[in-house]
Structure 1
Amino acid sequence: MHLRHGMNPHQAAAPVTPVRPGDQPVRLLAGEPSYINLLDALNAWQLVSEASRALDGAVTAASFKHVSPAGAALAGELDAAAAERHGLDPAAAGALGPATRAYLRARDADPKSSYGDFAALSHPVDAELAELLAGVVCDGIIAPDYEPAALDRLRRKKNGRFVVLAADPDYRPPARELREVYGLRLEQDRDRAELSADLLQPVVGPAPDPAATADLLLGLAVLRYTQSNSVCYVRDGVTVGIGAGQQSRIDCTRLAGAKTDLWWLRRHPAVRRLAFRPEVRRQDRINWQLRYLEGELPGPEVLAAPAPELTERERGDWLAQLGGVAFVSDGALPFRDNVDHAARHGVTLIAEPGGSIRSADVEAACREHGITLARTGLRLFHH
């Protein structure tokens, strides 16, 4: 496999070679990936395949940007707001296949960040999903297999430049990982800890039910392949807010919490009533929805009718309805402020490794807010 260029276009890249000669984890079926495309693809594939394995084979999708997920989701119900944003009839959304629903839910988690993403799917890609991918701004996809009609459609996207990778689901990576940085070679054991419900032992509150367990396991799989420090909020099998790569965990919590609020506010009736002019493109509509929520009113060049008013009280009342959100952290919560802040975004469950000198304070905060706390004992840093 030859890369189009290195991390940046001015950096030349050498051919990609397997660590074990003849043992290829992926095959290139179309396009010419860049260095970052391949990093996104390999991380995204590990995420969806591990999440699917931990969740009894559930169809799982991810939308990756800059080596962290913008969103990840299971193939659950596609709500009316997400369907409308992609030009679909909400009444017909239930007839969509699981692959399409999983990817649409993952992409809708943070549609601004998913613009120009790299997609991943735990199961084979069918013609329906391929047709959807042909109509969105996306750089490529990795999946275990493709229906012939799906592969033919994707090979025609972007005049043949769309990257299509097939992952070998039976591939097992080497036990040791190697990285070279500034003339030094770093080597470590691969993180092979299995993700399972056995990790979710509650220390505050009742044991999570099956739906909550699925959300927490999806969150653990997501954080394993998200640049640390990282946290994520998950609801109904969708990562509604991901905070990645922050030096302070509370900053991750606030960033992801703000994304969670936006995810919920995009479902407000006032947002759905924005009457865009026919010539306004889908991504521009999404961007204007976010700008509207940030206080900027679209003008007549964007809307066919004036924007409805959305008062601060109406926003607050709507946000107060958000609940049933799971919160997962890749490292120990060092202070209770993370719990206090997460509680403002509808969080009712938290999973974190534990082991902080302030763990007792974290437990006390969870009891005060009525939040179930599970200690995994498993840190999932990723750099």
Structure 2
Amino acid sequence: MHLHFKAFYCIILFLNNLKMAGAHILSAVEGATTDLVKITRALISVSDKTGIVDFATFLASQGVELLSTGGTAKALRDAGLTVKDVSEYTGAAECLDGRVKTLHPAVHGGLLAVRGNEVHDRQMKEQGFQPIDMTILNLYPFEATVQSGANFAQCIENIDIGGPSMMRSTAKNHAFTTIVTQPAQYAAVQKAMEENGGATTLALRKQFAGKAFALSAQYDSMIASYMAEQLKEDSPVAVRVYEPQTTLKYGCNPHQTPSQIYSRMGHQLPFDVLNGVPGYINLLDAANAWQLVKELNEATGLASAASFKHVSPAGAAVAVPLTDIECKAYEITSEDAAKLTPTALAYLRARNADPMCSFGDFCAVSGEVDEDTANILKREVSDGIVAASYTPGALNILKAKKGGKFIILKATENYDAGALEYREVYGMTFSQKRNDIVIGKDHIKGNVVTSNKDLSEAAVRDLILASICIKYTQSNSVGFAKDGMMVGVGAGQQSRVDCVKLAGRKVATWYLRQHPKVLALPFKDGVKRQDRVNARVRYIEGDFTAEEKVRWLEQFTEVPEPLTAEEKEDFLKQSTGISISSDAFFPFRDSIDHASKLGVSYVAQPGGSVQDGQITEACDEYGMTMAFTGVRLFHH
């Protein structure tokens, strides 16, 4: 019992001593939280030598001793700076072809020692180690080596070991040490030292430490992904590293806070914000809308535009001249329409596909926004725009919209979204190859399966337009196009025929907006434009409640004559030349039967159903031309 008690007592003493030592270390670290740390010694090892000579010259002027290795040391000496080799500092020569040079206790002791800790100070003195206050480094360019097409052995040789080790040691001990990992940080370090007598601030050290650990995670994730590709199997762990860019007002709903947008570390966002504060749904709309118009422009060679609401297009169009009847329906004179630039014309068409649904849209155009386009947007209720560029005049017009809150995004030139995309839902992360296929003429021409093979260039254009549009429409989806514009989009229905009916109702409304009775509605002076748009649609629909009709009639100088069901039906019979595209095959002929009532002459769909023969037969009965694209375009 006595021996057991003595042993127990010794353990307690040991734990107490350990606790006291730990407390002493913690106290020393916490004690430095408000302290400035003067830089006396810096270790420099960079592959990207941008600005390093000027920065090192500044450090030397502050009395900082410079340690370095290899090519960096040579570059500094060639600039006339005094540099001590790391091998001289450690007392150990570089070996193994340079694989081992900074992996030494003198380096990591100098970085990790807690300043002011008695045990650390004593052991540093016993070992002959000196503190290192700053590490300036870049990691070996592993990603660039892979992208250069280097073989496996070369890529493996470009995996940095010493760099990440020093980076992590310095970042961990940021209470006393400063880690600098990119040339863009040099100015901030120099400013801090100039303002604080050669010292850096804790805030700066902590910020740079966070960036260093993120860089370390990104670097390891690149290596893990490369190894997985080489092994032709999934990596056991997928690491994605993101950098916060801006805080959003809230998520999809006001109670979903916090909300933020991130970029992949080391990569730009696809847009620069020129004006306004984008929201969560705004950026989702912008991402989809920009891809749509970019692909549409590439496929057709025409200026393209889209009007998005809740991550589906309300309308999309290319620059095709307006007819006189369309000018009347869209409230623009034929003379003014003829003067529109292609970009303005494309957006005018896109916005007028379904002007009720486009109310409060987020729009996109494929090229430069000019004054014509800006003036159209100026009068519309819209949240924002994304475009390739803006003229100075257009930018001034748009910046004044919505009291200066209109969101203006400039697309990043040559943006690389990456081959794979990821989405986190309910704690699960989905990964897939990005849908980078672009529908073009080759998917339409030569793939006609009906008896009628007639396909004009205008019909091919409209089928391409409809197909690219539904690629960015929530599935199930179908889209109708005519004269270079979407005239009906059906999104997010579980049944294919319901998509056709939903979109078909929009087609009928679009076409009936050109009916003589609709164009002649006697509005009172002062009725707002959007109110006129809504009133025309309600007139076409005709299903008023008694109270609604009273308020509706207040907008007119006289009671309009009703638009009867017979008149609608007779007018719709004149509709022809409309194209329809479906994001997946038609499982039954009911979709074709319904489309025939709307003037559909051309059909594009992937094909691949056991009912393909029946669908083709239905198209033949109506004299339609149908092409099997072979590409399913689901979008969720």
TM-score by length of 1: 0.96
Following the alignment from structure 2 to structure 1, what is the Cα–Cα distance between the partners of residues 616 and 629?
A: 14
Corresponding residue for residue 36 of structure 1: 281
Corresponding residue for residue 310 of structure 2: 66
Corresponding residue for residue 163 of structure 1: 407
Corresponding residue for residue 385 of structure 2: 141
Question: What does 1:1-383 correspond to in 2, within 5 Å?
Answer: 1-56=246-301, 58-84=302-328, 87-200=331-444, 201-204=447-450, 205-295=452-542, 296=544, 300-383=553-636
Following the alignment from structure 2 to structure 1, what is the Cα–Cα distance between the partners of residues 571 and 601?
A: 17
What is the RMSD computed on CA atoms of the aligned residues? Answer: 1.5
Gap change, CA 1:94 and 1:321, over 3 Å in 2: same
Q: After alignment, is 326-335 or 186-195 more displaced?
A: 186-195
Give the deviation of 1:84 after TM superposition: 4.0
Following the alignment from structure 2 to structure 1, what is the Cα–Cα distance between the partners of residues 567 and 575?
A: 13
Give the deviation of 1:311 after TM superposition: 2.8
**How many residues align structurally?**
382
Following the alignment from structure 1 to structure 2, what is the Cα–Cα distance between the partners of residues 49 and 366?
A: 32
Give the deviation of 1:79 after TM superposition: 3.6
Give the deviation of 1:191 after TM superposition: 1.3
Aligned partner letter, 1:203:
V
Give the deviation of 1:308 after TM superposition: 3.0
Question: Does the aligned pair in 2 maintain the 1:275–1:303 contact within 8 Å?
Answer: yes
Gap change, CA 1:213 and 1:13, over 3 Å in 2: farther
Following the alignment from structure 1 to structure 2, what is the Cα–Cα distance between the partners of residues 223 and 169?
A: 25
Gap change, CA 1:321 and 1:156, over 3 Å in 2: same
Gap change, CA 1:341 and 1:94, over 3 Å in 2: same
Following the alignment from structure 2 to structure 1, what is the Cα–Cα distance between the partners of residues 385 and 635?
A: 22
Following the alignment from structure 1 to structure 2, what is the Cα–Cα distance between the partners of residues 81 and 180?
A: 48
Following the alignment from structure 1 to structure 2, what is the Cα–Cα distance between the partners of residues 85 and 348?
A: 23
Following the alignment from structure 1 to structure 2, what is the Cα–Cα distance between the partners of residues 181 and 100?
A: 38
Give the deviation of 1:16 after TM superposition: 1.8
**SS where residue 262 of structure 2 aligns?**
coil
Report Cα offsets for 1:146-174 as digits up to 9, x if no partner: 00111111111112211000012411211
Following the alignment from structure 1 to structure 2, what is the Cα–Cα distance between the partners of residues 285 and 81?
A: 17
Question: Does the aligned pair in 1 maintain the 2:438–2:468 contact within 8 Å?
Answer: no
Report Cα offsets for 1:65-118 as digits up to 9, x if no partner: 000000001111234455445543233211111111111111110011000000
Aligned partner letter, 2:440:
S
Question: Does the aligned pair in 2 maintain the 1:231–1:330 contact within 8 Å?
Answer: yes
The structure with higher relative contact order (CA 8 Å, sep 6+) is: 1
Gap change, CA 1:207 and 1:190, over 3 Å in 2: farther
Aligned partner letter, 1:202:
V
Q: 5+ unaligned residues in a row in structure 2: which ranges?
A: 1-245
Q: 5+ unaligned residues in a row in structure 1: which ranges?
A: none
Gap change, CA 1:106 and 1:332, over 3 Å in 2: same
Give the deviation of 1:127 after TM superposition: 1.2
Q: After alignment, is 266-275 or 297-306 more displaced?
A: 297-306
Gap change, CA 1:20 and 1:218, over 3 Å in 2: farther
Aligned partner letter, 1:50:
E
Give the deviation of 1:315 after TM superposition: 1.6
Comparing both structures, which one devotes a greater share of its residues to helix?
Answer: 2
Aligned partner letter, 1:376:
T
Following the alignment from structure 1 to structure 2, what is the Cα–Cα distance between the partners of residues 105 and 218?
A: 13
Give the deviation of 1:305 after TM superposition: 2.2
Give the deviation of 1:25 after TM superposition: 1.5
Following the alignment from structure 2 to structure 1, what is the Cα–Cα distance between the partners of residues 462 and 330?
A: 24
Gap change, CA 1:322 and 1:42, over 3 Å in 2: same
Aligned partner letter, 1:125:
V
Question: Does the aligned pair in 2 maintain the 1:85–1:282 contact within 8 Å?
Answer: no
Following the alignment from structure 2 to structure 1, what is the Cα–Cα distance between the partners of residues 401 and 326?
A: 24
Following the alignment from structure 2 to structure 1, what is the Cα–Cα distance between the partners of residues 398 and 622?
A: 48
**SS where residue 264 of structure 1 aligns?**
helix
